Amino acid sequence: MKSGAGNVARGAPQQVRIIGGQWKRTPLPVPPGDGLRPTPDRVRETLFNWLGQDLTGMQCLDAFAGSGALGFEAASRGAQRVLLVESAAAAIRQLRANQAKLDANQIEIVQADARRLITTLSPGVFDVIFLDPPFTSGWLNDLLAPAARLLAPNGVIYAESDVPLEDDALAELGLVCLRRAKAGAVHYHLLESIPKT
């Protein structure tokens, strides 16, 4: 999970490990504080099984990058471009250090408020959007519609939240849930735009 108020949860990892692709097993340090709670390995493994292991040529957005676990995982699996957006200065410093360590030229790092930035990006660009706002922030529902506008044809949104997303509410936003699962307190979903008829 990503940055927000409070400290790192007790027992939270001080590093995450890339689980697939060219950087498989590479550890990525996680800066202390800022409420960073990286997406667990088990959840990331399920997610990338859903997406398919090979993301070659894809354009990805990690809107609340935090540790960068999702974005670096996507880049490791061949994504052509990964835009990491994060507001916390300590997390930005660590993301840039990890980018330099891996010589990850396909990764672009922007320090910004993702809630604002997501409304200014060009529509129809991204194949995969990772939406993992600070836990219990309540921001996710307000972000889904502007994120959906950014999806390329057949693009998907991965969303994490503290509550399950309801199908009726998603339909009102023009989205449908393809897959969903739960790990501990985390509900995670794979969404796509409902095709226009």
108 in a domain, yes or no?
A: yes
Question: Residue 141: is its pLDDT beyond 90?
Answer: no
DSSP assignments along 117-162, one per residue: HTTTSPTT-EEEEEE-PSTT---HHHHHHHHHHTEEEEEEEEEEES
Q: Is residue 1 part of a domain?
A: no
pLDDT band for position 9 (cuts 50, 70, 90) = very low
Q: Does residue 4 form part of some domain?
A: no
pLDDT tens figures, 124-135: 999 999 999 887
Q: What is the CATH number of the domain that holds 37?
A: 3.40.50.150
Q: If we measure between CA atoms, which residue out of 95, 153, 141, 147 comes closest to residue 117?
A: 147
In whole angstroms, give the CA distance from residue 133 to residue 143: 9
Residue 51: per-residue pLDDT: 95
How many domains, the chain? 1
- Provide the 10 A C-beta neighbour count for residue 142: 13
Q: Would you say residue 10 lies in a domain? A: no
What length is written for the chain? 197
112 falls within a domain: yes
Assess if residue 110 is contained within a domain. yes
Lowest average pLDDT, out of 22-31, 37-46, 65-74, 173-182, goes to 37-46
pTM: 0.90
Q: Look at residue 9 and tell me if it is in a domain.
A: no
Structure tokens at 105: 């030229």
Q: Which domain holds residue 179?
A: 15-193
CA atoms within 13 A on the CB side of 186: 20
DSSP annotation string for 16-31: EE--SSTTTT-EEE--
Q: If 0-12 CB within 10 Å is exposed, 13-18 middle and 19+ buried, where does residue 57 land?
A: exposed
Quick one: pLDDT at residue 38? 76
d(C-alpha 38, C-alpha 66), whole Å: 7
Residue 5 maps to a domain: no
* pLDDT band, very low/low/confident/very high, at 6 (cuts 50, 70, 90): very low
Mean pLDDT on 152-170: 93
